[in-house]
Amino acid sequence: MVAKTRLLRSWRDKAACLGLDVTWFYPAPDDVLAVLRAQTFCASCPVRRDCARHAIEHNEQHGIWGGSTAQERAAFRRAMSS
């Protein structure tokens, strides 16, 4: 029998990037092609919104999360606080 905890999997367990090299999602901010590559990959992820929500709620300062850059998340947090 499958353990109950496996039935209630985390959004991370469903992420399209699961098992990939995480450095792929931490490109240099000025590397536009690498940022776009990561964002394009995230675009088809089934848990994109959960990932972006996590990054916003935990104030992730670096990387591409749910297709969003650190600058985009900071702008969203500022908009939500005003």
The three-class DSSP label of residue 24 is helix
17 is in an annotated binding site: yes
Question: What average pLDDT does range 7-21 have in this prediction?
Answer: 87
Q: Which residues of 26-46 are buried (b: 16+ CB within 10 A; e: fewer)?
A: ebeeeeeebbeebbebbeebe
The alpha helices in 1-82, defined as continuous H runs, are 4-7, 32-43, 48-57, 70-81
Q: How many domains does the chain have?
A: 1
Range of lowest pLDDT (2-6, 21-25, 27-31, 40-44): 2-6
The one-character DSSP state at 20 is: S
Its domain, for residue 32, covers: 4-81
Give φ, ψ of 65 to 5 degrees. -125, 120
What pLDDT digit, counting tens, does each position of 66-82 carry? 999 999 999 999 998 88
40 is in an annotated binding site: no
51 is in an annotated binding site: yes
Is pLDDT above 90 for 46?
yes
